[in-house]
Amino acid sequence: MRSSGGKESRGITPNRLSLKRVQEFLADQPLVIGKELLFFASVDSTNTMAFERAAGRSDGLIILADSQTAGRGRRGRQWLSPSGSNLYMTILMKPSLLPEDAPILTLMAAVSATSAIKNLTTIPASIKWPNDIMVGERKLGGILTEVKVRGNQILWAAIGIGINVNITAKRFPEDIRPYATSMRHETGRVQSRTLVVIEILKELDSWYRILLAKGKEPLFSRWLIESSTIGRNVRVTVGRASFVGVAEGIDDTGMLMLRLRNDSIKKISSGDVVLLREATA
């Protein structure tokens, strides 16, 4: 655990999720996202709830919950979601993107969450492709983007963001304890969930506007800066197959470009990345 603290919590009671404060922030800002916010003390999953509440909503509905009873991670994994400590939020968006461009939304949320954490604290957060928010080799948060498609268009995208804010190490199950961390654990002090929510929404709104106005280039450049994957020797597991090589970059749909030992490039749309210490050559 690092001893350096986060920045001042600006008069907000640490850990209490102040809905009022989030609503005031949303009312004060002409944001594209967040015209409506729904808060639940407990839901099965904020992503599921977002789809259930999608009918008739505009772009940018926010679903925020204090706890989830069936929080999901990628590949059907469970996402630990106890009450009173972490952040579970889904933004429902109607982007005019093709279904194959959906990973861009994950990259956008990962950039936004990482930037927000760095704006608020001295935590050296980085992104492990495609959706992990990391501190070194420990996971601090993750993004789960799920889409409903009609024809060749995304009808709705639920961008789910989970950040371990104040959970203590002893509350992680033993099998994930060595690989998980929280903002509190990293800074040695309780962090304001309210400020984390607000900062992520600010960043997300700003990156969404940039995406709409300038396309994906600026977002991809920033993703590369925040990434801890690119340039590294990695093993990528895709189902039962695994590939070892150098992560060279991402293509224009967010697929990982892996240079294999035979020097060919393999593009991977989804998989689990392990950073390798040894050279692969």
127, 134 contact by CB (below 8 A): yes
User: Least distance in Å: CB of 88 to ligand BTN?
Assistant: 4
Q: Count of CB atoms within 10 A of residue 218's CB? A: 14
Q: Which is nearer to ligand BTN, 146 or 205 (CB)?
A: 146
Q: Which is nearer to ligand BTN, 47 or 187 (CB)?
A: 47
Which tokens belong to 199? 């900062």
What CA–CA distance (Å, rounded) separates 21 from 25? 6
3-state DSSP call for residue 135? strand
Is position 6 an interface residue for ligand BTN (rule: CB under 6 A)?
no
139, 133 contact by CB (below 8 A): yes
Show contacts with ligand BTN in window 122-151 (CB under 6 A): 131-132, 142-144
Q: Which is nearer to ligand BTN, 46 or 114 (CB)?
A: 46
- With CB under 6 A as the contact rule, the residue among 9, 54, 73, 118 that binds ligand BTN is 73
- With CB under 6 A as the contact rule, the residue among 26, 62, 64, 68 that binds ligand BTN is 68
Is position 72 an interface residue for ligand BTN (rule: CB under 6 A)?
yes
Is position 47 an interface residue for ligand BTN (rule: CB under 6 A)?
yes
Signed CA dihedral, 163, 202, 119, 125: sign only: positive
86, 165 contact by CB (below 8 A): yes
Site residues (CB under 6 A) for ligand BTN? 45-47, 68, 71-74, 77, 79, 88-90, 131-132, 142-144, 160-162
